[in-house]
């Protein structure tokens, strides 16, 4: 039986995947081998495939002169609504990365985001795509002395079974390792997270904990922030220390009309020169922002808050921003922390 399968696969490869194949599962095997230059893990792809669906095509493209790579694997099936299984784009040029960050973080920079598990240096963006940024020792530094990096966006289709524990993140880690090699990045290989956690749905409200439990989160500074004790504050820790961005969101009270939180404080950090535009307007620093230098690049911090939060005037908000920014700068080894006027 194994010999027959091997012969059948060879025959399909010779005939070309675009031709007629009697057994869809054989074509699936061939496409998985070809997809993304062999970087897709077979078992993870099987777990991501919707019931009754099969692979339809696999396309990849590397543009060496531009330091970019893309890969797209599509589905076919009677019940398939979104024909994407996985769609990947990666860039090593600063201009391309800046454009991607501009799309992910429009003016103001407080777009939705969710953290990735430890070991994956990135975040889930407002579109639900998984963004990774890796240092590229193989590409050296740019003309301004900054470490070159790889930014990789992975989008999974609506029908892709992202809820299967471990499948999505295992696929993303394998793709990052393969693309790093293809582009000469030389990044430290990633491994899938030990916990079989599926990606968060960016449309869902983040999980929160009482402020008394903040010490056990990546936003531990909030536990000693001195927020009003009668506010019933809860914390959503949306940080991955290795990511180029992260948030600490605090909620208080309940809005009678919407049922959501009555008050919200959002603290955000962005790492990289790309973030300077988010903390300034018309050439001047935006209020309630701070900046520092981290590994030769800018880091920017900001606070967004409503005007009607009891007990939190401008001075108190500045104190909270200071606590957040100092904690972030300390964790990342930054220097020269300063605040907007």
Look at residue 195 and tell me if it is in a domain.
no
Report residue 5's pLDDT band, with 50, 70 and 90 as the boundaries: very low
Look at residue 11 and tell me if it is in a domain.
no
Q: Give the integer Cα–Cα distance in Å for 262 and 247.
A: 19
Domain co-membership, 141 together with 251: no
Domain count for the chain: 2
Look at residue 229 and tell me if it is in a domain.
yes
- The H-assigned helical ranges of 132-291 are 167-182
Look at residue 197 and tell me if it is in a domain.
no
Reported as a single tens digit per residue, the pLDDT across 156-171 is 999 898 888 889 999 9
Q: Give the integer Cα–Cα distance in Å for 65 and 267.
A: 38
Q: How far is CA 195 from the centre of its chain?
A: 17
Report residue 256's pLDDT band, with 50, 70 and 90 as the boundaries: low
Domain co-membership, 171 together with 236: no
- The H-assigned helical ranges of 21-152 are 24-34, 42-48, 94-104
Domain co-membership, 176 together with 30: yes
Report residue 258's pLDDT band, with 50, 70 and 90 as the boundaries: low
Least confident segment among 82-91, 138-147, 248-257, 276-285: 248-257
Look at residue 303 and tell me if it is in a domain.
yes
Domain co-membership, 249 together with 174: no
pTM of the model: 0.90
What is the rounded average pLDDT of the residues 18-33? 73
Domain co-membership, 29 together with 175: yes
Domain co-membership, 173 together with 216: no
What is the pLDDT, as a whole number, of residue 262?
Answer: 78
Look at residue 123 and tell me if it is in a domain.
yes
What is the rounded average pLDDT of the residues 251-276? 84
Least confident segment among 4-8, 83-87, 89-93, 121-125: 4-8
Look at residue 299 and tell me if it is in a domain.
yes
Specify the 3-state DSSP secondary structure of 71: strand
Q: Which of 182, 197, 232 is the last residue of a domain?
A: 182
What is the rounded average pLDDT of the residues 216-229? 91
Report residue 293's pLDDT band, with 50, 70 and 90 as the boundaries: very high
8 A C-beta contact, residue 162 and residue 156:
yes
Range of the structural domain that residue 38 is part of:
21-182
Least confident segment among 48-62, 129-143, 178-192, 264-278: 48-62
8 A C-beta contact, residue 1 and residue 8:
no
8 A C-beta contact, residue 297 and residue 288:
no
Domain co-membership, 147 together with 214: no
Q: Which of 133, 164, 182 is the last residue of a domain?
A: 182
Domain co-membership, 145 together with 216: no
Domain co-membership, 136 together with 223: no
Domain co-membership, 229 together with 326: yes
What is the rounded average pLDDT of the residues 48-61? 90
Q: Which H helix or E strand runs over 326?
A: helix 314-332
Report residue 7's pLDDT band, with 50, 70 and 90 as the boundaries: very low
Rg (the chain; Cα; Å)? 23
Reported as a single tens digit per residue, the pLDDT across 105-158 is 998 899 999 999 999 999 999 999 999 999 999 999 999 999 999 999 999 999
At which residue do the structure tokens 């696969």 appear?
9
Domain co-membership, 32 together with 163: yes
What is the pLDDT, as a whole number, of residue 25?
Answer: 77
What is the pLDDT, as a whole number, of residue 87?
Answer: 96
Q: What angle do CA 320, 322, 328 make, to 5 degrees?
A: 105
Domain co-membership, 214 together with 113: no
Look at residue 215 and tell me if it is in a domain.
yes
What is the pLDDT, as a whole number, of residue 193?
Answer: 85
Question: Is pLDDT above 60 for 280?
Answer: yes
What is the pLDDT, as a whole number, of residue 259?
Answer: 63
């Amino acid at each position: 039986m194994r010999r027959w399968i091997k012969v059948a696969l060879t025959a399909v490869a010779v005939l070309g995947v675009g031709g007629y194949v009697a057994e869809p599962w054989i074509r699936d095997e061939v496409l998985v081998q070809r997809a993304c230059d062999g970087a897709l893990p077979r078992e993870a792809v099987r777990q991501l495939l919707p019931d009754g669906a099969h692979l339809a095509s696999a396309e990849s493209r590397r543009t060496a002169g531009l330091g970019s790579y893309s890969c797209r694997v599509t589905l076919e099936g009677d019940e398939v609504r979104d024909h994407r299984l996985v769609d990947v784009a990666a860039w090593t040029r600063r201009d391309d990365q800046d454009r991607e960050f501009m799309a992910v973080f429009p003016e103001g920079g407080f777009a939705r985001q969710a953290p990735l598990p430890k070991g994956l240096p990135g975040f889930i963006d407002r579109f639900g795509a998984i963004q990774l940024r890796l240092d590229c020792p193989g590409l050296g530094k740019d003309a301004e002395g900054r470490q070159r990096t790889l930014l990789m966006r992975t989008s999974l289709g609506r029908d892709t079974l992202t809820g299967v524990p471990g499948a999505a993140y295992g696929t993303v880690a394998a793709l990052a390792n393969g693309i790093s090699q293809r582009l000469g990045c030389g990044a430290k290989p990633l491994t899938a997270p030990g916990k079989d956690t599926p990606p968060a749905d960016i449309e869902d409200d983040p999980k929160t904990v009482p402020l008394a439990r903040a010490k056990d989160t990546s936003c531990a500074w909030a536990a000693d922030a001195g927020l009003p004790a009668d506010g019933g504050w809860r914390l959503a820790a949306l940080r991955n220390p290795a990511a180029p961005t992260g948030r600490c969101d605090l909620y208080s009270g309940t809005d009678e009309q919407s049922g959501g939180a009555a008050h919200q404080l959002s603290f955000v950090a962005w790492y990289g020169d790309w973030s300077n535009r988010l903390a300034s307007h018309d050439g001047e620093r935006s209020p309630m922002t701070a900046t520092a230098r981290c590994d030769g690049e800018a880091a920017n911090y900001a606070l967004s808050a409503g005007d009607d939060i009891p007990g939190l005037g401008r001075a108190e908000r500045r104190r909270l921003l200071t606590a957040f920014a100092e904690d972030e700068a300390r964790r990342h080894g930054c220097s020269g922390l300063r605040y907007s006027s």
